[in-house]
Structure 1
Amino acid sequence: MLTVRDVLDLDVVRAGAPEVLAGAEALSSPVRWVHVAELKSLAGLLEGGELVLTTGLAFEDSAADAARYLGELAAAGAAGVVVEITAQRPQTAAALRQAAQDAALPVVLLTRRIRFVEVTEVVHRLLVSGQLAQLERARQVHETFTMLSLENAPPEEIVARAAELMGAPVVLEDVAHLVLAFASAGVPASELLSGWAERSRLVHYREETARAGAAGWLQTPVGLRGQRWGRLVVPAPGGPAGADGDGAMVLERAGQALTINRMAERDQRELGHQARAGLLHELRRPGALEEAEALARAAALGLAAAPVYLPVVFRLSRRPGEEPIEVQRRERALLDMLHSVLANARVPALAASLQAGALGLLVAVPARQLEDPVLERLCGQLAEQTSVDWAVGVGRGRPDLLAAAAGLDEAAHVAESAAGLGSAAGLGGSRRFYRSADVRLRGLLSMLRDDPRAAAFADAELAPISQDAEALDLLMHYLESGGNKAQLARNGYLSRPTLYAKLARLQEKLGVTLDDAESRTSLHVALLLRGLRS
């Protein structure tokens, strides 16, 4: 964009010793064209944005005529006027100086003679080259975002390209001011996203690309008119150079690409799910994030700061012969319901899919003693609103977000164990969630039950009595009593001689001594595996 100041800085103009008589604060006005005119009135001849070159013949020595002339130029929207008056015409220069005192546009006096034709040639060449550069820039931006649209690029890539083209940070947020994607452009993420929702709410939404708010953030809406689902924001007071022109174009094209991709494949919830899932997986990857950045990014997605973060995993129950697409459908239904319940219960949490059939949560809890009440309320409301079957595993609460995210592995193990055991294994079907202390050895064995090596071990241990239901029942009761024969006799209403005789026959069939602790452990593990498999 060529301005009045740029024209005055040209060598051909500086040769005339330019003196700004008025409008110094408007020297940044853009120049659309240069017009040489000596007519007394230019009314109707200008379209706005022209820099007029004249020798002052239109007003000569009359200050009143000079004031009228300058007023007409201002009314026509001229960018400014450059008047060449040499030392041989002092009265004309005086008239111009007097009229310029009340002028509303830049008025420049040249006291040395220059060639106006050289000025017009240079300026017009600059204007044309600038227009060609703008066209080339527009073509580049158009092709960039068209390709991203055709490739169905994810929001993160579109936002990153916009930030790269603008040289400034760009944030994509939804209508609730939650950050769906961002590109920091060298700004630390913890600084860029700190208190994002609160800061963003101060910048009112605009239906067109514009600056808004006290900070002057540049923004553009995303989505079809009447169905806006977010906006792109450049959260910088000044923004990049040319932000109101070139930057606005880049931001608009990025917004259009996001809208097209949304129409083709995604809905608003999908974008939120992807943002949360991406962050959750980054949190679990050792060394991927610093605690400060993790907290800032989690807060931008709705996970408020808290004294304790609790890792929780929902594991969908298995269904024989179920197709993967059906598992995905049930998982999405549970995730959507989970987000709804979290919002209604006002429980801050980061929830996303971990893997097929498993959902991970990081729940912000106000205090350790409130862990169980929060989980009871959450799981209870879920149970009331959905028919999807699941088991819930809970890890240890941590004061650090990254440490809590690492605990999702423990919670997943517990959930997997609980899903495989159920009330038949003695966990109690009324429990809404489980911890490691609840599943213990049974939890480990539930994860090994489909391992052929574990099956072979159990079959080998119990082979001599595998078809003898009475012997299997006696062995289980004996092991559950801790090998206490007197207690087993009382509980089974048997005389000791009778019990001892039965145990002797059982030992003989098994070929091991039941007094040996390791033998009892092996047999007990084999019986538990047999029960889980059946």
Structure 2
Amino acid sequence: MLPSIRTILDLAIVQTAEPVVLSGLDRLQHEVRWVHVSETRNMTGLLRGGEMVLGTGLAIGHGVGAITAYLSHLERAGAVALLVELTNALEQQATDLRVAAGAVTMPVITVARRVRFVEITETVHRMIVADQLDKLERARGVHETFTTLSLESAGAADIVRRAAELIDAPVVLEDLAHLVVAHSAQGRSAPELLLDWEGRSRSTHLRDRTERAGPEAWLQTPVGTRTQRWGRLIVPVLTKDDDDAKMILERASQALSINRLAEKDQWELSHQAQAGLLHELRQPHAISLQDVEARAQALGLKAASTYAPVVICVEDGLGEVTDALASLHEDRVILEAVAFAVRASRSSALVATLQAGNIGVVLAIPDGAAEAALLERFCHTLNTQLSGARVVLGVSASRGNIIDAAAGLDEALHVARTAATLPGERKALYRSSDVRLRGLLALFRDDPRAQVFAESELAGILGSHDAADLALLRRFLNSGGNKAALARTGYVSRPTLYARLARLEEQLGVDLADAESRTSLHVALLLHDLRLLR
């Protein structure tokens, strides 16, 4: 930092001259940009601001009026302090100077002993040059840090965390909707930092340059190109050095902008932040509800009395998926449709890709809202948006807090994936009660014992490579084992049907008239179908 007026007065060479401060005691902490020796009365054009002027009293004049005029002129010219050596001054001039000093706010200092001005200037200028070198070295280090992060394609969270460490203060990155997409509390409490973030943020308007603004005097800098601003970086507290913090924020902003241009995807940041929180909640480790609520609300999830875990399972995609990029594009389309459906239902949500083709949603049910009606509206809008896709929606029982709702996504995923195997016309939404026995069997489909059971029950026709046999068995079982009812459907002629069923009994080695045999076959067939679902 630049030396302050007090720092200069504390120098040994100044102290030996016995300095006396006549005015401006409350301004001794002001920084001195340069030291200027002058005996000229007219300083117009000679100062640039921030200088401490040294003189022997020749320029100050005589009489209170003349001295006051000189001091006022010096202050208007930009001087931050005046040090006058009065060793040769008349007593009256010294008295007039003390009176005149009361008319200005800048510090006016006198020394009673002779002092070598050249030693003061040399000492102070070395301090100023050293400060400038320190700032250059600091700027170079910061530049290298964020350049490395850019080259490594670091995520927004890493860039924000590094900025917070360098500033030693919390840093928040938000988008233009005032939703927090990354933050680093830097040792502070996240709930306290993000409390009512959206409301507080809306009261502090986005500025085109780095500055403090708003009722809380937030230090902020825009993020994005001049024509495509997409967010801002904020330090919502006071810092040790605002100039240093501004420099760091601007370099962090540039790194974010460069990475954003490389990604060409503004929407992705918010989704990544939501996905990060949801995946963190699904891990088996403790995380406080207060922390989760603060982070979720900063991401746009409104506080609610209940939250519904919903999973969207893509059956056959939005077309032929030929590679990983196409799969990612498909999930992106689904995610954008989900975001639209959430807005249309006047709710809020956390959304994340659980695995390719399966999107998890923690949907807030606003207080007083009818859950069934809201879910119906959400599903209708989503299916309208995805008219070219076959999707199945599974929902688990609503929970009273976000952590429990995130845990319920596994059940909702199970319901959605099981419902995808159900025959007949699709429902808008499925719950556990809709998948019944099929849902129970889905839990055990990968159990080797279940596989052995299904294969042994169906061995007689699985080895025949005849899909018609499986189809016949399925239709027969779905008809409740009623041969006459199956024949009336016009599937095949009655004599042909009876002959094929007799051959099926022989292949399977069971009596199809036996209820327990039909039950075993039905369970085996369900397990076989579920095994094919991946």
2:104 counterpart residue number: 103
Quote how far apart the aligned CAs of 1:36 are.
Answer: 1.7
* One-letter identity of the residue aligned with 1:110: V
SS class of match (1:229): strand
Alpha-carbon separation, structure 2, partners of 1:365 and 1:336: 20
2:239 counterpart residue number: 240
1:443 counterpart residue number: 439
Structure 1 pair 268–523 and aligned structure 2 pair: CA distance change class (3 A): same
Q: Report if aligned partners of 1:476, 1:524 keep a CA contact under 8 Å in 2.
A: no
Quote how far apart the aligned CAs of 1:43 are.
Answer: 3.0
Quote how far apart the aligned CAs of 1:510 are.
Answer: 4.7
* One-letter identity of the residue aligned with 1:299: Q
Alpha-carbon separation, structure 2, partners of 1:355 and 1:504: 45
Q: Report if aligned partners of 1:416, 1:447 keep a CA contact under 8 Å in 2.
A: no
* One-letter identity of the residue aligned with 1:256: Q
* One-letter identity of the residue aligned with 1:125: R
- Residue deviations 1:209-266 (CA, integer Å, cap 9, x gap): 0000121110000111121111000011xx22111x1111111111111111111114
Q: Report if aligned partners of 1:479, 1:520 keep a CA contact under 8 Å in 2.
A: no
Q: Report if aligned partners of 1:465, 1:472 keep a CA contact under 8 Å in 2.
A: no
Alpha-carbon separation, structure 2, partners of 1:392 and 1:57: 89
Structure 1 pair 472–131 and aligned structure 2 pair: CA distance change class (3 A): closer
Q: Report if aligned partners of 2:479, 2:486 keep a CA contact under 8 Å in 1.
A: no
Structure 1 pair 231–369 and aligned structure 2 pair: CA distance change class (3 A): closer
Quote how far apart the aligned CAs of 1:404 are.
Answer: 0.8
1:341 counterpart residue number: 341
**Comparing 377-386 with 168-177, which one deviates more in the overlay?**
377-386
Quote how far apart the aligned CAs of 1:508 are.
Answer: 7.3
Alpha-carbon separation, structure 1, partners of 2:473 and 2:174: 65
1:198 counterpart residue number: 199
* One-letter identity of the residue aligned with 1:114: V
- Residue deviations 1:431-453 (CA, integer Å, cap 9, x gap): 11111111122235568779998
SS class of match (2:52): strand
Structure 1 pair 518–121 and aligned structure 2 pair: CA distance change class (3 A): farther
Structure 1 pair 64–351 and aligned structure 2 pair: CA distance change class (3 A): same
Stretches of structure 2 that go unaligned for 5 or more consecutive residues are 489-499
Q: Report if aligned partners of 1:310, 1:397 keep a CA contact under 8 Å in 2.
A: yes
**Comparing 313-322 with 25-34, which one deviates more in the overlay?**
313-322
1:281 counterpart residue number: 279
Structure 1 pair 25–140 and aligned structure 2 pair: CA distance change class (3 A): same
Quote how far apart the aligned CAs of 1:98 are.
Answer: 1.6
Tell whether 2:56 aligns with 1:35.
Answer: no
Alpha-carbon separation, structure 2, partners of 1:172 and 1:470: 61
Q: Report if aligned partners of 2:475, 2:486 keep a CA contact under 8 Å in 1.
A: no
Residue among 261, 265, 272 paired with 1:263 = 261
Quote how far apart the aligned CAs of 1:59 are.
Answer: 3.2
SS class of match (2:458): helix
SS class of match (1:168): coil
SS class of match (2:350): strand
1:499 counterpart residue number: none
Q: Report if aligned partners of 1:310, 1:364 keep a CA contact under 8 Å in 2.
A: yes
* One-letter identity of the residue aligned with 2:429: F
1:172 counterpart residue number: 173
2:492 counterpart residue number: none
**Comparing 504-513 with 381-390, which one deviates more in the overlay?**
504-513
Alpha-carbon separation, structure 1, partners of 2:41 and 2:369: 87
Quote how far apart the aligned CAs of 1:5 are.
Answer: 2.4
Quote how far apart the aligned CAs of 1:318 are.
Answer: 3.1
Alpha-carbon separation, structure 2, partners of 1:159 and 1:462: 59
Structure 1 pair 184–356 and aligned structure 2 pair: CA distance change class (3 A): same
**Comparing 455-464 with 174-183, which one deviates more in the overlay?**
455-464
Alpha-carbon separation, structure 1, partners of 2:5 and 2:460: 102
Quote how far apart the aligned CAs of 1:507 are.
Answer: 7.1
Q: Report if aligned partners of 2:344, 2:378 keep a CA contact under 8 Å in 1.
A: no
Quote how far apart the aligned CAs of 1:366 are.
Answer: 2.9
Alpha-carbon separation, structure 2, partners of 1:471 and 1:22: 102
Residue among 298, 308, 311 paired with 1:310 = 308
Alpha-carbon separation, structure 1, partners of 2:49 and 2:471: 100
**Comparing 205-214 with 443-452, which one deviates more in the overlay?**
443-452
| TM superposition score normalised by structure 2 | 0.87
1:358 counterpart residue number: 358
Structure 1 pair 104–463 and aligned structure 2 pair: CA distance change class (3 A): closer
Alpha-carbon separation, structure 1, partners of 2:144 and 2:432: 54
Alpha-carbon separation, structure 2, partners of 1:459 and 1:470: 15
RMSD: 3.4
Alpha-carbon separation, structure 2, partners of 1:9 and 1:404: 63
Quote how far apart the aligned CAs of 1:268 are.
Answer: 1.5
2:525 counterpart residue number: 527
**Comparing 369-378 with 138-147, which one deviates more in the overlay?**
369-378
Alpha-carbon separation, structure 2, partners of 1:288 and 1:90: 77
Q: Report if aligned partners of 1:417, 1:444 keep a CA contact under 8 Å in 2.
A: no
Quote how far apart the aligned CAs of 1:203 are.
Answer: 1.4
* One-letter identity of the residue aligned with 2:251: R
Quote how far apart the aligned CAs of 1:474 are.
Answer: 7.8
Within 5 Å, which residues of 2 pair with 1:390-429?
Answer: 390-419=391-420, 421-422=421-422, 424=423, 426=424, 428-429=425-426
Within 5 Å, which residues of 2 pair with 1:21-60?
Answer: 21-59=22-60
* One-letter identity of the residue aligned with 1:211: R
Alpha-carbon separation, structure 2, partners of 1:334 and 1:240: 43
- Residue deviations 1:55-76 (CA, integer Å, cap 9, x gap): 2122354323312221221121
SS class of match (1:38): coil
Quote how far apart the aligned CAs of 1:26 are.
Answer: 2.9
Structure 1 pair 323–89 and aligned structure 2 pair: CA distance change class (3 A): same
Alpha-carbon separation, structure 1, partners of 2:228 and 2:60: 58
1:460 counterpart residue number: 456
2:491 counterpart residue number: none
Alpha-carbon separation, structure 2, partners of 1:378 and 1:135: 55
Structure 1 pair 93–453 and aligned structure 2 pair: CA distance change class (3 A): same
Q: Report if aligned partners of 1:4, 1:80 keep a CA contact under 8 Å in 2.
A: yes
Alpha-carbon separation, structure 2, partners of 1:64 and 1:508: 126
- Residue deviations 1:268-325 (CA, integer Å, cap 9, x gap): 1011111111111112123252100100100001101111111111111136874333
Structure 1 pair 139–64 and aligned structure 2 pair: CA distance change class (3 A): same
1:272 counterpart residue number: 270
Q: Report if aligned partners of 1:334, 1:388 keep a CA contact under 8 Å in 2.
A: no
Quote how far apart the aligned CAs of 1:477 are.
Answer: 5.1
**Comparing 300-309 with 317-326, which one deviates more in the overlay?**
317-326
Quote how far apart the aligned CAs of 1:370 are.
Answer: 2.3
* One-letter identity of the residue aligned with 2:124: V
Aligned residues: 518
* One-letter identity of the residue aligned with 1:310: A
Structure 1 pair 94–443 and aligned structure 2 pair: CA distance change class (3 A): same
Alpha-carbon separation, structure 1, partners of 2:474 and 2:121: 107
SS class of match (1:223): strand
Quote how far apart the aligned CAs of 1:512 are.
Answer: 5.2
1:498 counterpart residue number: none
* One-letter identity of the residue aligned with 1:260: I
Q: Report if aligned partners of 1:67, 1:99 keep a CA contact under 8 Å in 2.
A: yes
1:296 counterpart residue number: 294
Using the aligned pairs only, state the percent identity.
Answer: 50
Alpha-carbon separation, structure 1, partners of 2:524 and 2:474: 11
**Comparing 11-20 with 150-159, which one deviates more in the overlay?**
11-20
